[in-house]
Structure 1
Amino acid sequence: MKYSAIITDIEGTTSRISFVTEVLFPYARQHLPAFVRSQCQQPEVAQELAAVRQQLQQPDADIEQCISALLSWLDADQKITPLKSLQGMIWRAGYEQGHFTGHLYPDVVTQLQAWHAQGIKLYIYSSGSVAAQQLLFKYSDAGDLTPLLSGYFDTRIGAKRELASYAAILQQLQLPPNQVLFLSDVVAELDPARELGIATVQLIREQQAAGDHAIAHDFSQIEA
């Protein structure tokens, strides 16, 4: 076996970028104000609102100010942790109510199943919160795929274009870098991983500009 672990990005790698931009983001934007107003006393929501106030450096910001900030961050596609966490909570309701399912390319489903059967540990690393990642795979087009996955990483481990994030992931996996493969469509995410000695493959699915990493057009072309 070439690799002991494979880490994969979601947007543009396992899933259409448009699933996030055309389905998930609009759903979160539409439902965020009412969700925050109705759920602000719930501990998990209150905790994220406290983080919003901290981010704003406005400890006395009221609910409407928090909502305004969250919507502006959402519109600007800011990778801010409390926003991602609240989005995940809103999406959970959408998945559970059957408003949508998590898009995965068919080759991803087949290959994840094959790699899992070979004993390779599979991990997700995405800017979306761990909760949002788990929902996408639990309520995927192909059913619940979470039993195939060994763990998830989000912005809490660090930004995806920073070398320290991949060092922290290696520390958690307790594996040498040459036993780990990272899959993403974004060259700027693959570069710091490779700098640490992690193997990399760039997915070219939607006319992404190719860098100098190994490339694949779908998961069946990846030798693991």
Structure 2
Amino acid sequence: MAQVLRADWVVLDIEGTLMATSAVHVGLYEFARPRLGPWIDAHPGSELVRSAVARVKAEAGLPDDAGTDAVVAVLHGWMDEDRKAAPLKDLQGEIWQRGYASGELVSTYFPDVVPTLRAWVEGGLRLAVFSSGSVTGQVASFSATDHGDLTGLFEHHFDTVNAGPKRERPSYDAIRAGLGEPEPGAVVFCSDVPAELDAAAEAGWQTVGLARAGEPYADADFGDHLVIGSFDEVRIEARR
């Protein structure tokens, strides 16, 4: 029998939790990789692009007059390291947004995900997202899926810029404030990364670990966290 949790909010990770890690590291990353340089050069008047380029130069120690090729080399290196760098996420988010809008990109989720999300919302639960991908990229991803536009299911989006690092407790306190200060125990966080669940638990949240077959953390030690292989193995119900 599935374990039952009661809450007001469910906050969801994306990569490895809602969709396959390969969909991000292979699909989305490889879509953005060749487009970073052309995107920078094509948008010299964009404040986001100018800011991202300036931050890349500052973080990488590049001179102010460094060209696009040097900036892109840094960005590609960060992608290879899977570094959660804000300027990289900002640029990827804009590129992905264009890709989803044009139909070149379509999000595909694990089979249990969309039916569960819809059932949760219909049952009175409120949903939010906490992902290392930019808010722009998150919204774009949910706007064009193999189940249609899912953006209406989520009330809030958080990333490492507006909330903080995913493995640190203060980020979860910041998210709870953004949700309107619900009781800590009224929030459930679902992720495939044990360290993220640890940080959420420190903030008083309920936690659910996703150990999906074939994913990088499938055999990880989740400690005392509830662990499931799919959302079919847990029931999360609205408290009210």
CA distance in 1, matches of 2:106, 2:71: 29
Bigger strand share: 2
Q: Is the 8 A contact 2:190 2:207 kept in 1?
A: yes
CA distance in 2, matches of 1:35, 1:75: 19
Q: 2:59 aligns with which of 51, 55, 59?
A: 55
State the shift of 1:112 in Å. Answer: 0.8
The aligned runs of 1:175-190 (5 Å cut-off) are 175-190=182-197
Query: Which amino acid is the alignment partner of residue 202 of structure 2?
Result: E
State the shift of 1:99 in Å. Answer: 1.5
Structure 1 equivalent of residue 20 of structure 2 = 16
Which of 170-179 and 8-17 deviates more? Answer: 170-179
Q: Is the 8 A contact 2:212 2:230 kept in 1?
A: yes
Q: Name which structure has the greater RCO, CA cutoff 8 Å, separation 6+.
A: 2
Structure 1 equivalent of residue 166 of structure 2 = 160
Q: Is the 8 A contact 2:97 2:141 kept in 1?
A: no
Structure 2 equivalent of residue 69 of structure 1 = 74
Give the total of aligned pairs.
224
**Structure 2: segments with no counterpart, 5+ residues:** none
- Using the size of structure 2 for normalisation, the TM-score is 0.88
Q: Percent of aligned pairs with the same residue?
A: 38
Structure 1 equivalent of residue 222 of structure 2 = 211
Q: Is the 8 A contact 1:37 1:63 kept in 2?
A: no
- Using the size of structure 1 for normalisation, the TM-score is 0.94
Alpha-carbon deviations, 1:23-78, whole Å to 9, x = none? 10111112111111112322221222222233235561433232222222122211
The aligned runs of 1:111-130 (5 Å cut-off) are 111-130=116-135
Q: Is the 8 A contact 2:48 2:90 kept in 1?
A: no
SS at match of 1:167: helix
Structure 2 equivalent of residue 131 of structure 1 = 136
SS at match of 1:223: strand
Match status 1:39 vs 2:43: yes
How large is the Cα RMSD of the aligned pairs? 1.6
**Structure 1: segments with no counterpart, 5+ residues:** none
SS at match of 1:152: strand
Which of 32-41 and 115-124 deviates more? Answer: 32-41
Query: Which amino acid is the alignment partner of residue 229 of structure 2?
Result: H
CA distance in 1, matches of 2:67, 2:158: 29
